[in-house]
């Protein structure tokens, strides 16, 4: 998928009213399923998942506030952000004074509509711009929320790219936000594009499309035995805004994925921050009982841009170029995860003669001949069975791709032997 194709997916998903449960999530997964085969899971209301319980399912058909003339001054059909997520049904006539406790605005951003939810407390409300609120008269107003909150299911989906190894890389994005293009639809689009391009991999890649918090908790509760296979992971969100890439380290701080992302981002504008238990679902995967090697990749982080959780986070805020840039960085990370490993130099006493093996000759005419030669020398020098190719790239300052290509050439010439994965203890 190109940046334009990812942006088109964001725009198509944008009008759907998503929440932590309900038909909006199912419709979203149906559309993603046009690009990827998905295993969709339905978990019944009341199911105990770790310390949580799967809540009742919420669905909404319509909602509005009508003024005395019958005009819809707040209209769910114009934007699903106008209704507080998980609002219980309402049908009433109210004055503005009676209605005000249920109205949410952003006085500092008077033209924007905020995003608000009330998942675990039965209440209701509307979101509107401060400018619209300031123009309302005393009423009375007809207030309707045509919604249901009843026993049902929590829905999530997985797409798995089976590799030659059972070791897994987890890519997770949340599918619970309504019309917010950067936070979460950009992450969904980039994850979909990455999954669609993977084929014939060494590692197994598991893509999880789940509601935030409760979805990740549910997946963890149902897959405890699988978590031991996860060798790396990322949560994806805010993947399409114009800001520089930001990587948040795993709880461990020095996991393989932390090193991989630091290397991949080194030649791009970026920020790397330490782990904190606030943010997206990395905080579930990195809870102390699991402590998985999962970091978080965004562009501008959550709450770091004025449009965050407002109607300003629309498809116009997301750019094809930013989506493509995020995907490119992820693709490089996959390359490192796939090709990293430890090697043993089979001719370690002095420098082996590369020319008579055709290795120097094969580089003739390349624009990066000097870099390729240097990469061979570094790989030979560091391949003692203890150092990985990422170690070599970090120490030499060379691109990982050049180091990996050099290792492949040297292995083909009989000068190297692969002795283990990068994260496998030496001597195993």
Ordered by where they begin, the domains of the chain are: 3-55+153-338 (3.40.630.10), 57-150 (3.50.30.90), 341-420 (1.10.10.10)
Q: At what angle do helices 23-32 and 3-13 cross, to 10 degrees?
A: 160
* Confidence band, pLDDT 50/70/90 cuts, at residue 366: low
**pLDDT tens readout for residues 132-148:** 999 999 989 999 999 99
User: Is the pLDDT reported for residue 259 higher than 90?
Assistant: yes
pTM (predicted TM-score)? 0.93
pLDDT value of position 238: 96
- What pLDDT, on the 0 to 100 scale, is given for residue 232? 96
Whole-number pLDDT of residue 365: 54
Picking from 79, 87, 83, the residue whose alpha carbon sits closest to that of residue 179 is: 79
pLDDT class of 423 with cuts at 50, 70, 90: low
Q: Which residue has the higher pLDDT, 354 or 424?
A: 354
**Cβ atoms within 10 Å of 77's Cβ, excluding its own:** 10
The answer to whether 309 is annotated as binding is yes
Picking from 59-63, 253-257, 362-366, which range would have the lowest pLDDT averaged per residue?
362-366
Q: What is the pLDDT of residues 73-116, one digit of tens each?
A: 999 999 999 999 999 999 999 999 999 999 999 999 999 999 99
- To the question of whether residue 153 is assigned a binding role by annotation, the answer is no
Instruction: Give every CB contact of residue 86 below 8 A, 6+ residues apart in sequence.
Output: 19, 20, 58, 117, 118, 119, 149
Average pLDDT over the chain, rounded to an integer? 94
Token output for 258? 């932390």
Q: Is 407 helix (H, G, I), strand (E, B) or coil?
A: helix
pLDDT at residue 215, as a whole number: 97
Tokens 């009341």, residue located: 46
Instruction: Identify the band that residue 359 occupies on the pLDDT scale cut at 50, 70 and 90.
Output: confident
Find the largest Cα–Cα distance for the chain. 92
DSSP 3-state of 143 = strand
Ligand-binding site membership of 177 (annotated): yes
Q: What percent of the chain clears pLDDT 90, i.e. is strictly above it?
A: 89
Q: What is the pLDDT of residues 6-43, one digit of tens each?
A: 999 999 999 999 999 999 999 999 999 999 999 999 99
Decide if 217 contacts 49 (C-beta within 8 A).
yes
d(CA 142, CA 14): 28
Give per-residue pLDDT as tens, 382-417: 999 999 999 999 999 999 999 999 999 999 999 999
Angle among Cα 233, 21, 207 to the nearest 5 degrees reads 20
Q: Span 170-190, mean pLDDT?
A: 96
Q: Can you tell me the distance from the alpha carbon of 237 to that of 60, in angstroms, rounded to the nearest whole number? A: 25
- pLDDT at position 214 over 70: yes
Please count the CA atoms within 13 angstroms of the CA of 302 that sit on its side-chain side: 15
Confidence of residue 121 (pLDDT cuts 50, 70, 90): confident
Q: What is the mean pLDDT of residues 121-142?
A: 95
DSSP per position, 18-81? --SSSHHHHHHHHHHTTTS--EEEEEETT-EETTEE---EEEEEEEEEE-TTS-EEEETTT-GG
């Amino acid at each position: 998928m190109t940046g334009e194709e990812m942006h088109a997916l964001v725009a198509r998903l944008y009008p759907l009213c998503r929440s932590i449960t309900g038909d909006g999530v199912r419709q979203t997964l149906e559309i993603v399923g046009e690009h990827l085969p998905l295993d969709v899971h339905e978990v019944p209301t009341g199911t105990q998942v770790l310390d949580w319980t799967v809540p009742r399912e919420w669905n909404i058909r319509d909602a509005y506030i009508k003024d005395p003339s019958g005009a819809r001054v707040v209209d769910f059909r114009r934007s699903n952000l106008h209704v507080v997520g998980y609002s219980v049904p309402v049908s009433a006539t109210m004055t503005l004074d009676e209605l005000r406790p249920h109205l949410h605005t952003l006085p500092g951003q008077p033209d924007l509509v905020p995003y608000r939810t009330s998942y675990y407390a039965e209440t209701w409300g509307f979101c509107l711009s401060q400018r619209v609120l300031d123009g309302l008269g005393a009423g009375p107003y007809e207030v309707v929320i045509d919604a249901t909150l009843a026993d049902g299911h929590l829905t999530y989906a997985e797409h798995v790219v089976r590799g030659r190894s059972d070791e897994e890389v987890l890519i997770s994005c949340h599918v619970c936000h309504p019309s917010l293009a950067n936070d979460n639809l950009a992450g969904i689009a980039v994850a979909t594009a990455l999954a669609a391009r993977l084929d014939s991999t060494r590692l197994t890649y598991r893509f999880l499309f789940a509601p935030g918090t409760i979805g990740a908790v549910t997946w963890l509760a149902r897959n405890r035995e699988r978590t031991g296979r996860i060798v790396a992971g990322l949560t994806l969100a805010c993947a399409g805004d114009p800001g520089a890439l930001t990587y948040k380290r795993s709880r461990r701080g020095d996991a393989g994925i932390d090193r991989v992302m630091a290397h991949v981002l080194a030649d791009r504008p970026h920020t790397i921050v330490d782990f904190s238990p606030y943010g997206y679902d990395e905080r579930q995967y990195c809870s102390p009982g699991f402590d998985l090697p999962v970091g978080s990749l965004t562009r501008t982080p959550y709450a770091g841009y004025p449009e965050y959780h407002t109607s300003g986070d629309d498809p116009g805020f997301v750019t094809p170029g930013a989506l493509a840039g995020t995907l490119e960085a992820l693709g490089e990370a996959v390359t490192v995860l796939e090709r990293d490993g430890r090697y043993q130099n089979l001719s370690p006493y002095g420098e082996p003669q590369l020319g008579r093996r055709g290795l120097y000759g094969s580089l003739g005419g390349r624009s990066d001949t000097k870099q390729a030669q240097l990469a061979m020398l570094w790989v030979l020098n560091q391949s003692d069975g203890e150092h990985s190719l990422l170690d070599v790239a970090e120490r030499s300052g060379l691109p990982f791709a050049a180091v990996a290509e050099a290792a492949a050439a040297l292995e083909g010439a009989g000068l190297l032997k692969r002795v283990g994965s990068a994260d496998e203890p030496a001597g195993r």
